[in-house]
Structure 1
């Protein structure tokens, strides 16, 4: 964008912010039961889920049980687990006895009769069955997908990030509590293959039936919505990146196509290893699993359904051309292994941490392949998807996520932070440190802001507050004083102590200015002097005030 100063100012720029909308949210008791933390939840730490499930493609029913290992954190006799109310509970067994329970919406309140004592470890078995919710528009609308491949064989998958894992198996359905490990046993017709997270431990041919059980094991912490199953006529092939096993499960007819298309995984891994650190779940391998829906970041079993096309369903979300040079689903969903699966949020209100950093990681791959200028073009192109209609951070305790701007706006905010730092070596070190410091942990916006403030030796509270908690992006306001050959400037923002600097190009020279939110500052300028702001480096708006 350019500012040309004569007796008047002519302002030339793109309109970067859309009209801001009001939002009034109404929450139900079901929202509160799902999103809030009360003693029935906080008194228990889920240690391991051992899920054993039968999938019947003909009836579209599932049945089985979840063996839940948990630690008691405070004396308590009532536990809340979650299972969608359309699913039937057969029994809940603890220490050989059937426990009583009450259901309220999708919450299941289990009565242990006597208090479980602090610092003790227990197991219960939760038996259930039913027809799980069918997704109408996966992965945006959560649920099961029952399809058939081109040969008429069943092709089944599930995606439940926003809807909740309790749609299909009983668990403590809150992001704050990840199990330390998991086991998933899936029984299906013997002519099909079942794929889940982690490593395949065993395949068991069931006696006296035409069923086969696939036993998968996860050795890292995993959040509830990442646990998944995929069933189909899959064929398996593998590759290697350094000491990381690359495993691929694709439909039989797509084997040759997949072998060629998935070659881009290795340059992606090379880039992310260099910029973000090594793959977080190395012992469980990296997998791409072909699915009948577009994709999802299931840990160590990334769902892939982009039909072996570069771009996003063959298109370029950035509009720059760079988005057609790689498969968006491979790069974006795999980047979630670092941001979202390893670094995870405690509350869905902070989901920008997953999506903002992952969307920024797309540009990291572009930079590795085509250089920094291309990456800046790509990030700038992402802005056409931003609406600035509401805050990126949602409301806590009611299972509410923020604006979908968390993707592109989050990416542009992070790029602006890199620009302010002005030290790429420190930037890449900080991203690696971020992944190392928060690996296998759940976190919050406050903790992330504190980390970057400490790592970059700058209090970034006001910076993040403006971009995350308010709809409007920072607006840099100029007004001229022709008689003194000076231009005044200040920030028009929601956060009083916002003081982000901006680099200007004045003629052939560059100069950093330090606007504030409350006070006008002045810059001496020659008549008809041209001032430029690199709008690809700064995600801000600019206006002229009379």
Structure 2
């Protein structure tokens, strides 16, 4: 059992990067700032539309093509920045039929226009490029392109680039704050292979040189890192789900050789998942583009309307229960977790990756909410308590801003426990549910900051939560509840990094029940039942805290 838990913990630590290459750094470079900062040469234009047209030579692991940028000027400017990794060659940049001069600095590219583009002007340019993209060594965590073979020896290709950068394989404004309003993805692949990408398939065209072009249109705002390709020999089947906004189309794409196994496995979770998440979070956010689940040559990613699946058709996380509670083996972790990101991560997207706890904390909690929908509230509480063993409390879960750096991997399960703790403080499950749904309605298809999310929850709950958010998000340690019982009296206080931390807590003042007390940084004393001792005293386990006995 101990070896099993250590193995699960190791797996989670790897997974917590969620397709991100970044490692902890105490200092940051010019390249980090160019990537992570919404500089004036990025904020000067708002992306409206991309047409990504790319050809993928599978044998040579080579990509070539173009991306059209359509934008609106947010101020007068004559120079802007877009992004493309330096290992990829810019063949030319066309504007109104003429080539534009450009300069590179690391992975940032600066283009100069022949005349000032005025505020409010809608304009466009097209970048032509080619090269061998970065190959992911251990996808999805290190980011990059994946060139594999299926069990029958057929090519199987995809990409996972969250954090690493969509500009690792296509030119774009690679900053999380600006989601393109709509997108046409044209992918040409060798004849005999298929491409599945985000959104809806518009057409399939025969191209010269033995290639077939698949044209997919995304009608909803989408973040760059969510744009993906899945290339292989796939089986496809359809279904529908009668959801809160009407009939939602469901498309399933597994490798042909795995379709017999995939059909019943996915059917067991997908519709119950949609029912649960629409109940808790509100309507699926992308009815216009549909829901797709696509088998991928890596573990999984939340690619919008084309969720990447690679959990080998096993329950749990590759057959393991990361909670150790038993409940984690009642569902396919990747199907549930990555689909949960359609609400938190894809519908609500943080402007800066430093705030990724909003994506991962709420989505990790979606695992518990799905468990609750299927097996009841005690099962969900057991799951939430169980995942605490995977929390390191190593560094804060909010990272440094403007350098494309996320915080601790604890953003997953510490974030989940923070959401669960707030639910306890609200102490009204319908109000809690209305807040989750309200977040998805208020920030529908928007990019946000953690401050916006924190303020919304505090306002809607009517609670003072600023010190709680600060302690759990901006400090590495959780608060410690210190107590001592002598002669029928309970003395208690909080030990925390946040000054005057005063979170309410449920404890046993008498056997068999919990009552709310209001600890502060200073010692307080109240009477307790004669049967309550230092050994029998408990805090409600739904509160993720440390407990320390003694004065």
The TM-score range, normalised by the shorter chain, is over 0.9
1:69/1:122 contact within 8 Å kept: yes
Q: Counterpart in 2 of 1:513? A: 517
Q: Counterpart in 1 of 2:270? A: 265
What is the DSSP-based 3-state SS (H/G/I as helix, E as strand, rest coil) of the residue aligned with 2:288? helix
User: Residues 509 and 257 (structure 1 numbering): CA distance in 2 closer, same or farther, change over 3 Å?
Assistant: closer
Residue 535 of structure 1: CA displacement? 4.6
Q: Counterpart in 1 of 2:165? A: 164
Q: Counterpart in 2 of 1:4? A: none
1:490/1:516 contact within 8 Å kept: yes
User: Residues 509 and 213 (structure 1 numbering): CA distance in 2 closer, same or farther, change over 3 Å?
Assistant: closer
Residue 114 of structure 1: CA displacement? 2.0
1:421 corresponds to 2:426: yes
Residue 338 of structure 1: CA displacement? 0.4
Q: CA RMSD in A?
A: 1.2
Distance in 2 separating the partners of 1:274 and 1:58: 46
2:139/2:299 contact within 8 Å kept: yes
Q: Tell me the TM-score normalised to structure 1 length.
A: 0.93
Residue 350 of structure 1: CA displacement? 0.1
Could you give the per-residue CA deviations for residues 120-177 of structure 1, whole angstroms, max 9, x where no partner exists? 0101000000000000011111000001112221100000001010000001111010
2:514/2:540 contact within 8 Å kept: no
Q: Counterpart in 2 of 1:11? A: none
Q: Tell me the TM-score normalised to structure 2 length.
A: 0.93
1:377/1:536 contact within 8 Å kept: no
User: Residues 477 and 76 (structure 1 numbering): CA distance in 2 closer, same or farther, change over 3 Å?
Assistant: same
**Of 396, 404, 408, the match for 1:403:** 408
Distance in 2 separating the partners of 1:182 and 1:401: 27
Residue 203 of structure 1: CA displacement? 0.4
Distance in 1 separating the partners of 2:541 and 2:137: 38
Q: Counterpart in 2 of 1:449? A: 454
Distance in 2 separating the partners of 1:509 and 1:171: 57
1:545 corresponds to 2:546: no
Q: Counterpart in 2 of 1:16? A: none
Q: For structure 1, list consecutive stretches of 5 or more residues without a partner in the other structure.
A: 1-22
Q: Counterpart in 1 of 2:495? A: 492
- The residue correspondences of 1:361-372 to structure 2 (distance < 5 A) are 361-372=366-377
Residue 526 of structure 1: CA displacement? 4.9
1:295/1:333 contact within 8 Å kept: yes
Residue 209 of structure 1: CA displacement? 3.2
Distance in 1 separating the partners of 2:541 and 2:366: 16
Distance in 2 separating the partners of 1:539 and 1:526: 25
**Of 240, 247, 254, the match for 1:250:** 254
Distance in 2 separating the partners of 1:72 and 1:497: 46
User: Residues 199 and 532 (structure 1 numbering): CA distance in 2 closer, same or farther, change over 3 Å?
Assistant: farther
Deviating more after overlay: 531-540 vs 486-495? 531-540
Distance in 2 separating the partners of 1:287 and 1:192: 19
Q: Counterpart in 1 of 2:149? A: 148
Residue 240 of structure 1: CA displacement? 1.2
Deviating more after overlay: 24-33 vs 225-234? 24-33
What is the DSSP-based 3-state SS (H/G/I as helix, E as strand, rest coil) of the residue aligned with 2:421? helix
Could you give the per-residue CA deviations for residues 34-88 of structure 1, whole angstroms, max 9, x where no partner exists? 0012110011111111100000111000000000101100111111100000000
- Structure possessing the higher relative contact order (Cα contacts under 8 Å, 6 or more residues apart): 1
What is the DSSP-based 3-state SS (H/G/I as helix, E as strand, rest coil) of the residue aligned with 2:380? helix
Q: Counterpart in 2 of 1:231? A: 231
2:240/2:249 contact within 8 Å kept: yes
Residue 24 of structure 1: CA displacement? 6.1
Q: Counterpart in 1 of 2:287? A: 282
Distance in 2 separating the partners of 1:149 and 1:486: 67
Distance in 1 separating the partners of 2:500 and 2:458: 15
